[in-house]
Structure 1
């Protein structure tokens, strides 16, 4: 998974600020940065760069007076599925960063991807 969630951003942070932050740390970002209010989604060229970004930045870097959080972007439905005790293992959840073995996924339940959250969640745009 190469898409990361960057959270705890000040409302004054711009896409240019994020690009500069990654550039200063020699972290190459892919095509686009999707900036929302207080968070952003950033694509990296491959998983190794994504891991390096998490290790380099999360909880260690301050931007506009706030320490930023960097983690894998997990679609909202997958996050909610884990809270309801549904398994996050198998072919429909290949993007889940960890396999949580709880209850089997009911056949009628569809775990898919959402394009974007309108409630301030950390949905990954696809």
Structure 2
């Protein structure tokens, strides 16, 4: 399981998130996605913890909590949606444009 953490400050670091979530258990991974073009943080991240029990404790305690001047949105991460084959625009089923 992974935890989605939204409404983060653009100055947050993975170390910052690790410290906050470590109060609820062992943090095994932190991911802070960045914008491809600007390299700037996107304002959300993902945290993985050692057990589902620890993750649920963190979600219960931190959802809506104010941190770094913002109210965090913390919940179970949903699987990434399949957005289809982006490379097929303008192609027929044979793979060639008509």
The answer, yes or no, to whether TM exceeds 0.5 is yes
Aligned equivalents of 2:12, 2:71: Cα separation in 1: 12
Greater RCO, CA 8 A, separation 6+: 2
- Which consecutive unaligned segments of at least 5 residues does structure 1 have? 81-126
Per the alignment, residue 84 of structure 1 pairs with none
Per the alignment, residue 69 of structure 1 pairs with 73
- Which consecutive unaligned segments of at least 5 residues does structure 2 have? 34-41, 84-98
Residue 16 (structure 1) shift? 1.3
Aligned equivalents of 1:27, 1:57: Cα separation in 2: 13
1:42 is paired with a residue of what secondary structure?
A: strand
- Greater strand content: 2
Per the alignment, residue 113 of structure 1 pairs with none
Contact 2:4 2:46 in 1 (8 A): yes
Residue 27 (structure 1) shift? 2.8
Contact 2:24 2:55 in 1 (8 A): no
Number of aligned residues: 76
TM-score, normalization: structure 2? Answer: 0.68
Please list, as runs of the form range in 1=range in 2, the aligned pairs for 1:90-109 lying within 5 A after superposition: none
Aligned equivalents of 2:62, 2:25: Cα separation in 1: 10
List structure 1 runs of 4+ shifted beyond 3 angstroms: none
Contact 2:27 2:48 in 1 (8 A): yes
Q: Compare CA radii of gyration and give the structure with the larger one.
A: 2
1:71 is paired with a residue of what secondary structure?
A: strand
Per the alignment, residue 35 of structure 1 pairs with 32
